[in-house]
Amino acid sequence: MKPMNLIEIEKAVSGSLVQGEPRARVSGVSIDSRTVKEGELFIAIIGERFDGHSFITEAVKKGARALIVDREIETKSGVGIIRVNDTTVALQDLARYYRHKFAELKVIAITGSAGKTTTKDMISTLLGRKFKIRKTPGNLNNYYGLPLTLLGLEGDEDIAVLEMGMSRLGEIRLLAGIAGPEIGVITNVGPTHLETLGTIENVARGKSELIEALPEEGTAILNYDDPLVRQMKDSFQGEKVIYYGLTAGADLYANSISISGEEGAISFDLTYWEERLEKLTLNKPGRHNLYNALAAIAVAREFGVDWPEIREGLKSIALSSLRWDVTRLENGTIIINDTYNANPLSMRAAIDATLEIAEGRIITVLGAMLELGAEKENAHLELGRYLRKQGVNLLITVGEEGKLIARGALKEGMPPEEVYNLEDNQAAGRLLLELIRPGDTVLIKGSRGVKMEEIVELVLKQGD
């Protein structure tokens, strides 16, 4: 972050400087007292399970130069205090102000029910061969994370590649209003966050808020093969829409798809408008990743990245942590750590991609898919049926939702001796260690809240 003084911040957040030197400068912004650095601004956010005002003393001890609060507080003299009505709104207002200090910065926003982070990573890889990029770190894609990403801009970036998540209607509209994107990418629409959104149609409505927020001169990049995404063209006030997919109706589409190499790299031919290119190779398996790559190619071409750079970039894609981390043990066993998150779309995609690279038995170790509301039971049962149909050899599930996955697999005809349900991750990990044979391929996946990476850590530690 480029330093800002307190009087500038006061105006940006419509607050009142009640203590401190107006010209004092801060060098960063934090909402977590545990990570505050010397000279930063600490914003006392009030969350569902915490109140940042309770941690002001700790933040000041760690060197916070200024605070944004919503009440009268006492702290040592010399520390700036800006008082506002709502500290979360202040964080967002400050990010909006700071982002627009960089008039030349181009902003790309990505949303969708699955594939947001992977698409962000792929776009950043391709654009990073020509431009200086700032991308959403990890999964900081909500109304706290996106402002913090923007406030991390150093001022010399060419492009910001931002992931936008949502669990309620209006959230994407808010985030787009802060970031001001010129390009919007929608990956897909699926049954996610149904606990708060209720229906798939509401999920689509929420995602389409990004397209509605684009300026007339902006560009909408849409998944042609997803009917709910394709019709978002009608939400766009501008004219430039680029469709990508695996069917010839799209402006950018892949065909002649083949799998090669032990890690399941995908080779494909590409048609880009009237231009045809043969045998591009993506270094990640799975048709779902091919969709993500096509979106990234569409963005890269909009920024003038040439085809040789795109070809090379597709061979060197690196994904964020806990997303398709593949470890091959000395005995030939493959452990796939895809534990960052899970929903019905991403679970099926991960199973399909595992099938593409597996040579021996396939073992799936699956946890809950959270926030599905009334669809919870049916979604987990259907997942069990699906993996049985796909020929998974062994199924280990964890927890109550895992019992539903197991039940679905059994109903579809999976032999009982091939299905296990455990109470917790440690028990599942111990069982997996007993069952693994040399040459097996093991997929471990579940929603963020169930921390399935604990199983990966246990297995890899034993494998070492």
- DSSP characters over 341-403: ---HHHHHHHHHHHHHH--S-EEEEE----S-GGGHHHHHHHHHHHHHHTT-SEEEEEHHHHH
Indicate if the pLDDT at residue 330 is higher than 90: no
Euclidean distance between CA atoms 261 and 277, whole angstroms? 21
- Do 184 and 214 sit in the same domain of this protein? yes
- Work out whether strand 41-43 and strand 66-69 pair parallel, antiparallel, or are unpaired: parallel
- Do 292 and 408 sit in the same domain of this protein? no
Which pLDDT value is given to residue 262?
60
Least confident of 84-88, 140-144, 383-387, 423-427: 140-144
For 391, the domain range is 325-463
- Do 426 and 459 sit in the same domain of this protein? yes
Amino acid at 339: T
In a domain, 90, yes or no: no
Indicate if the pLDDT at residue 77 is higher than 90: no
Tokens of 13: 């957040």
- Do 332 and 295 sit in the same domain of this protein? no
In a domain, 299, yes or no: yes
Q: Is the dihedral of CA 112, 115, 116, 122 positive or negative?
A: negative
In a domain, 94, yes or no: no
- Do 214 and 157 sit in the same domain of this protein? yes
Cβ atoms within 10 Å of 226's Cβ, excluding its own: 21
Give CA separation, 201 vs 169, 204, 231, 313, in Å. Answer: 11, 5, 12, 35
- Work out whether strand 275-282 and strand 265-272 pair parallel, antiparallel, or are unpaired: antiparallel
Across the range 304-317, mean pLDDT stands at 95
Q: Which residue has the higher pLDDT, 320 or 56?
A: 56
Percent of the chain surpassing pLDDT 90: 88
Domain finish residue from 281, 314, 347: 314
Indicate if the pLDDT at residue 464 is higher than 60: no
Confidence of residue 261 (pLDDT cuts 50, 70, 90): low
Confidence of residue 13 (pLDDT cuts 50, 70, 90): very high
Euclidean distance between CA atoms 67 and 62, whole angstroms? 13
Provide long-range contacts, Cβ within 8 A and 24+ apart, for 4-9: 4/98, 6/66, 6/80, 6/82, 9/41, 9/66, 9/68, 9/82, 9/94
Q: What strand order describes the sheet that includes 325-328?
A: 325-328, 334-337, 441-445, 362-366, 394-398, 419-422
Tokens of 429: 């990990």
Euclidean distance between CA atoms 392 and 414, whole angstroms? 9
Euclidean distance between CA atoms 186 and 165, whole angstroms? 11
| CATH number for 155 | 3.40.1190.10
Euclidean distance between CA atoms 43 and 90, whole angstroms? 8
CB-based contact 179:150 (threshold 8 Å): yes
Looking at every residue in the chain, the average pLDDT score rounds to 95
| CATH number for 36 | 3.40.1390.10
Q: Is the dihedral of CA 438, 444, 450, 453 positive or negative?
A: positive
CA-angle at 447, arms to 446 and 449, nearest 5°: 120
Which pLDDT value is given to residue 287?
87
Indicate if the pLDDT at residue 48 is higher than 90: no
Contacts of 285 (CB under 8 A, 6+ apart): 259, 263, 264, 265, 266, 324, 353, 356, 357
In a domain, 456, yes or no: yes
- Do 118 and 260 sit in the same domain of this protein? yes
Confidence of residue 463 (pLDDT cuts 50, 70, 90): low
Percent of the chain surpassing pLDDT 70: 99
In a domain, 228, yes or no: yes
- Do 134 and 55 sit in the same domain of this protein? no
Across the range 284-305, mean pLDDT stands at 95
In a domain, 125, yes or no: yes
How many structural domains is the chain composed of? 3
DSSP H or E run through 51? none
- Do 198 and 310 sit in the same domain of this protein? yes
Tokens of 248: 């010839």
- Do 309 and 329 sit in the same domain of this protein? no
In a domain, 92, yes or no: no
Euclidean distance between CA atoms 72 and 187, whole angstroms? 45
| CATH number for 360 | 3.90.190.20
Which pLDDT value is given to residue 318?
86
CB-based contact 367:446 (threshold 8 Å): yes
> Reduced to 3 states, what is the DSSP secondary structure of residue 123?
helix
- Do 81 and 106 sit in the same domain of this protein? no
- Do 310 and 356 sit in the same domain of this protein? no
